[in-house]
A and B are shown apart, each in its own frame.
Chain A
Amino acid sequence: MKSLRLNPIVLILINIIAPSMYIFISGKYLQAFLFVFASMLLILMGRFKSLAVLFIVYFGMMGIYYMTVNNEKLQFIGLFLIVLVQSVPCLALASILVRKYNSAQLLSALETIHIPRVLVIAVTITLKYIPTFKREFSYILESMRLRGISFTWKHPIKSFQYFIVPQLFRCAALAEEVTAAGFVKGIDVPVKRTSYYEERIRVSDAAVLLVFVTGLAGGFLWKRMYL
């Protein structure tokens, strides 16, 4: 079966809307719906590895919650996880966006919804930072190991200090480098940007959005009926 191709704009919209819905809709319903929705999307797009990760993390966290919920001493762990687990389906949805599309494709997609250029550039640069950070993260962990400054939970504050502060410096340098890379390649040209990867809105895009919106609407109904 050919895997589903989605216009990145659909995913961007879903990623913006999904987490903010926790304010309006019952958390339990939304969490379950987003979990099913994200799983279906991962299957349709052929991203089985991410699906496996989603299942392991989600059910792992839920499992720990149910195991610790009746133990007064360990209860806090479960309560902590049950809050965190709400974000897991959202993170799965975000991972599709970051992994599947390159920054040129995202830029093109954002251009189609007529938001100001400055904002488009800002969002694209932010998105570009994620894979870069991931690459750097592994260098830094390796370097800490070789220096014998391993990350330990025994001294969380010290460990974070060694990790976070240098990372902030690197961020600042990186921001300037990325901006430079964009500018020498004409990111500031005042004409309408064209795209090599023309991303049109297809029937499949509309269908996915429809399922998503229906699911959310269901959430409002659920709230009316049961709360």
Chain B
Amino acid sequence: MEKNVLVANNLTFNYEESSEGISDINFSINEGDVILLTGNSGCGKSTLLKCLNGLIPTVTEGELSGELSINGDSYSELKMHQINKIIGSVFQNPRSQFFTENTTAELVFPMENYGYKKADMQKRLEELQGTFGIHQLMNRNIYTLSSGERQMIALSSAVSMNQKILLFDEPSANLDYGNAMLLGKIIKEMRNNGYTIIVADHRFFYLNGIIDKVLFLDKGKLKLYDSEDEFKSSGYDTRSFNIFSLDIPFRKRIDYESVVASMKNVSFKNILEDINLELHKGEVTVLVGPNGAGKTTLAKLLCKTYRPTSGTVDTDELPFFIMQDPDYQLFGTSVINELTLVKNDIESIKNCLDNLGLLPYRHKHPFDLSGGQKQRLQIAMATLCEKTLIIFDEPTSGLDVYSMHSVVKEILKLKINAGVLVISHDYEFIRHVADRVVFLDEGTIKKDFVLTEDSLSDLNNIFKHMQEERCNEKVED
């Protein structure tokens, strides 16, 4: 008989300060299952994950009721350290993932806490290096690693105590397509080795064919699908399982009015080499490429953060740059004040807020908004700034499919008055938004084409190429 490792009975949790809780959650998870936990933003995914790793109620306060048990023991009788010896957590944000700055220190940190002898730590450290192939990453500064490498360290440290159940919180958010597919492959191998894995994510193409059960949350309520096929036929927008089969209309080719930025023979240190690029008003250019290819560096050259080592960068004015983490970009004392810093015209601000559905929140402090609202505020800033070039860095990372569509809509509006450059790994989003695709790999532009029905195979090949590079295997059409 299959063994239930995790069982929830009428699990309910309400936060003290917000209404985003979960209620009446019932499920049981078998040993060796791969579980997808999904739903729209704010549906309660993170809340459920926090219940599973014990952060609720230990760190996050609120009202918890119902029953949750692990390997037959009730959570209420277990201490945090007992739970986390069985369950390992891989968070999305490196700040909440890593306690130290050094890779080796990070891997031994849990073992030190649990009182391992030095010889045992050494042995386990070597095992982990063998299992995850991270020999080259030892004794390095975590913040100098690429996103893919960092993910491997996070994963290794989450199983350093030999945990057999693993929780992933939006693991694909910062990974390029190749690294996401590699993660899918690793999860599959871990399942074969008896691990139970719970992945909370909005995107799940990399889990295609390996999901045993889907926990779908909608406004804090759970809907359970007992197989991947059942979920696929559920009517929820699950198209992203097979991203290459999406049928999305192509943008009409138009004649672009003017050049808003150009780079001529630009090289920068050993990161970028001989970049030639012209960006036009009315055009959305998407910059794709693996983690560490130099995409953000290219954007920063346009923003004059860096000066090119050789070549010239020409922009009419400083572009408006929308960062991935809005928390670094908000300075105002209220939503309205934030926007007056951009353009001091109360009428156009109100119009803009109304269009983006932010008008009811106009007097709130920007930091009191939800993640999605903060992002819309950033878009409001971009709309009002009247700059000729607007740059987005990974605007859809961590967004559900519906929020993604609203970002698409806003970007298409923005391009009427400006040139837009978007850095993205998100295939579905790229298909919706791109007029043109620029593929950056190893510091040079490998491809630069207008996205049409004829050039779609070029885009698909870029993604397949990224997967082949990372996973060391041939991808079939």
* Interface positions of A (Cβ within 8 A of B): 102-105, 107-108, 128, 131-132, 135-136, 139-140, 142-149, 161-163, 165-166, 169-170, 173-174, 176-198
Q: Is residue B89 within 8 Å, beta carbon to beta carbon, of the partner chain?
A: yes
Let me know if B114 and A189 touch, CB within 8 A. yes
Neighbour of A104 across the interface among B59, B84, B109, CB < 8 A: B109
Pull 9 A–B residue pairs with CB atoms less than 8 Å apart, ordered by A: A139-B328, A174-B95, A182-B99, A183-B58, A184-B53, A185-B99, A188-B79, A193-B112, A196-B118
Given contacts A179-B59, A183-B80, A193-B112, 18 further A-B contacts (CB under 8 A): A104-B99, A104-B106, A104-B109, A135-B143, A144-B331, A147-B329, A149-B331, A169-B327, A169-B367, A173-B327, A176-B60, A181-B95, A181-B96, A183-B84, A184-B53, A192-B115, A196-B105, A196-B118
- Which residues of chain A come closer than 8 Å to B95, judged between CB atoms? 132, 174, 177-178, 181
How far, in angstroms, from A182 to B112 measured CA to CA in the complex?
12
> Among B81, B101, B333, which residue has its beta carbon within 8 angstroms of that of A103?
B101
- B96 and A161 form a contact (CB under 8 A): no
Considering only CB atoms and an 8 Å cut-off, how many residues of chain B contact the other chain? Answer: 57
Q: Which residues of B contact A193 (CB under 8 A)?
A: 112-113, 115
* Per-position 1/0 for B60-104, Cβ under 8 A of A: 100000000000000000011100110011010101111111101
CB-defined contacts of B109 to chain A, threshold 8 Å: 104, 185
Known: A183-B59, A186-B161. Contact between A140 and B328, CB under 8 A? Answer: yes
Cα A145 to Cα B323 with chains together (Å): 13
Contacting residues, chain A, for B55 (C-beta < 8 A):
180, 183-184
Residue of A nearest to B300 (CB): A142
B145 at the interface (CB under 8 A from A): no
List B103-146 residues whose CB lies under 8 Å from chain A: 104-106, 108-118, 121, 143
**Chain A hits for B152, CB < 8 A:** none
A115 to chain B, nearest CB (A): 17
Q: How far is the CB of B212 from chain A (nearest CB, A)?
A: 24
A161 to B99, CA, bound (A): 30
What chain A residues lie within 8 Å of B108 (beta carbons)?
A: 104, 196
A161 engages B333 (CB within 8 Å): yes
B233 cross-chain contacts in A, Cβ below 8 A:
none
Does B11 lie at the interface of the complex (its beta carbon under 8 Å from any beta carbon of A)?
no
Whether A186 contacts B84 by the Cβ 8 Å rule is: yes
Cα–Cα, bound, A192→B113 (Å): 8
A132 to B341, CA, bound (A): 27
CB–CB B105/A105 < 8 A: yes
Q: A146-B321, A193-B115, A194-B116 are in contact. Are A188 and B80 (CB under 8 A)?
A: yes
A-B pair count, CB < 8 Å, reads 141
Q: A102-B100, A142-B305 are in contact. Are A185 and B84 (CB under 8 A)?
A: yes
Residues of B contacting A180 in the complex (Cβ-Cβ under 8 angstroms): 55, 59, 91, 96
Bound-state CA distance A176–B55 (Å) is 10
Within 8 A of A (CB), among B386-441: none
- Chain B residue with the shortest CB-CB distance to A176: B59
Determine if A102 and B105 form an interchain contact, defined as CB atoms under 8 angstroms apart.
Answer: yes
Residues of chain A within 8 A of B101, CB atoms compared: 102-103, 131
Decide if A196 touches B111 in the complex (CB within 8 Å). yes
**Smallest Cβ distance from B86 to chain A, in angstroms?**
12
Which residues in A have their C-beta under 8 angstroms from that of B331?
144, 147, 149, 162-163, 166
Residues of B within 8 A of A (CB): 53-55, 58-60, 79-81, 84-85, 88-89, 91, 93, 95-102, 104-106, 108-118, 121, 143, 157, 161, 303, 305, 318, 320-321, 323, 327-333, 341-342, 367
Known: A104-B108, A162-B331, A198-B118. A146 touches B97 (CB 8 A): no
Q: Write out the residue numbers on chain A whose beta carbons fall within 8 Å of the beta carbon of B118.
A: 194-196, 198
> What residue of chain A has the Cβ atom nearest to residue B322's Cβ?
A146
Complex Cα spacing A105 to B143, Å: 18
Distance, CA A142 to CA B161, complexed state (A): 40
| B157: A residues at CB distance < 8 A | 185
| Nearest CB of chain A from residue B42's CB, rounded to whole Å | 17
Q: A103 to B142, alpha carbons, bound, how many Å? A: 13
Which partner residue on chain B sits nearest A136 by CB separation?
Answer: B328
- Write the nearest CB–CB distance from B422 to chain A, whole angstroms: 17
Tell whether, in the assembled complex, residue A189 and residue B115 are in contact, meaning their CB atoms are under 8 Å apart.
Answer: yes
Chain A residues with CB under 8 Å of B113's CB are 185-187, 189, 193
Closest to B381 in A: A147
Q: A161-B333, A186-B84, A188-B81 are in contact. Are A104 and B112 (CB under 8 A)?
A: yes
For the complex, what is the distance from the CA of A170 to the CA of B341, rounded to whole Å? 20
Q: Which residues of B contact A173 (CB under 8 A)?
A: 327
B residues less than 8 Å from A135 (CB atoms): 143
A189 x B81 contact (CB < 8 A): yes
Point out the residues of chain A lying under 8 angstroms from B330, CB to CB: 166
Output the least CB separation between B194 and chain A (Å).
21
Bound Cα distance A139, B95 (Å): 15
Q: Which residue of A lies closest to B93 (CB)?
A: A177
CB closest residue in chain B, given A144: B331
Name which residue of chain B comes closest to A173, CB basis.
Answer: B327
What residue in chain B is nearest A186 (Cβ atoms)? B113
Q: B99 — nearest CB in chain A belongs to which residue?
A: A181
Minimum CB–CB distance for A105 against chain B, Å: 7
State A142–B95 Cα separation when bound (angstroms).
20
Contacts of A188 in B (CB 8 A): 79-81
Say yes or no: B115 contacts A194, CB within 8 Å: yes
Shortest Cβ distance from B380 into chain A, in angstroms? 13
- Nearest-neighbour CB distance to chain B for A157, whole angstroms, equals 13
Residues of the B chain whose Cβ atoms lie less than 8 Å from the Cβ of A104: 99-100, 102, 105-106, 108-109, 112
The CA-CA distance from A187 to B332 in the complex, in Å, is 37
Most buried by A among B101, B112, B342: B112
For B89, list chain A residues within 8 Å (CB).
184
**A185 in complex: contacting residue of B110, B115, B320, B329, CB < 8 Å:** B110
Q: How far is the CB of A27 from chain B (nearest CB, A)?
A: 36
Q: How far is the CA of A194 from the CA of B95 in the complex (A)?
A: 24
Complex CA distance for A123 and B100, rounded to whole angstroms: 14
In the bound complex, residues from chain A placing their C-beta under 8 Å from that of B105 are: 102-105, 196-197
Q: What residues of chain B lie closer than 8 Å to A146, measured between beta carbons?
A: 303, 318, 320-321
Closest 4 A-B residue pairs measured CB to CB? A177-B96, A186-B113, A104-B105, A196-B108
Nearest neighbor of A104 in chain B, beta-carbon distance = B105
**Which residues from chain A contact B53 at a C-beta distance below 8 Å?**
184
B60: chain A residues at CB < 8 Å are 176
